[in-house]
């Protein structure tokens, strides 16, 4: 996770094997429209420091990159039921990293 966009020294890169990803998270990634092609979520400029997360998926469909700016604030301010699966996926990987499980 990148704590601040202008602070490149805070980048953590983690590779997560498919077998360690719970089935419900895999299902969202496989079936949710938002994960079919690279995309940016959230809203820039909501916080200071700016929260930024990047998720890169590599599978049989190729490599796709997803970025989420200010995940918590964006979801609370404008997220709806249709945004919940994306929030769940990013939160899952953030929690894994924070807990040191990856």
Alpha carbon distance 82, 85 (integer Å): 7
Alpha carbon distance 99, 13 (integer Å): 15
Q: What are phi and psi of 36, to 5 degrees?
A: -75, -30
At residue 74, does pLDDT exceed 90? Answer: no
Token pair for 33: 């429209």
| DSSP bridge pairs for 69 | 42, 52
Interval 11-53: pLDDT, tens? 566 788 888 899 999 999 999 999 999 999 988 888 778 888 8
């Amino acid at each position: 996770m990148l704590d601040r966009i202008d602070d490149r020294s805070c980048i953590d890169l983690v590779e997560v094997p498919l077998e360690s990803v719970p089935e419900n998270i895999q299902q969202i990634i496989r079936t949710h429209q938002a994960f079919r092609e690279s995309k940016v979520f959230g809203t820039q400029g909501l916080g200071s420091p700016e929260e930024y997360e990047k998720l890169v998926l590599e599978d049989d469909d190729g490599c796709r990159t997803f970025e989420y700016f200010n995940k918590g604030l964006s979801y609370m301010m404008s997220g709806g039921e249709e945004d919940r699966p994306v929030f769940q996926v990013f939160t899952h990987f953030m929690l894994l990293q924070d807990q040191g499980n990856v």
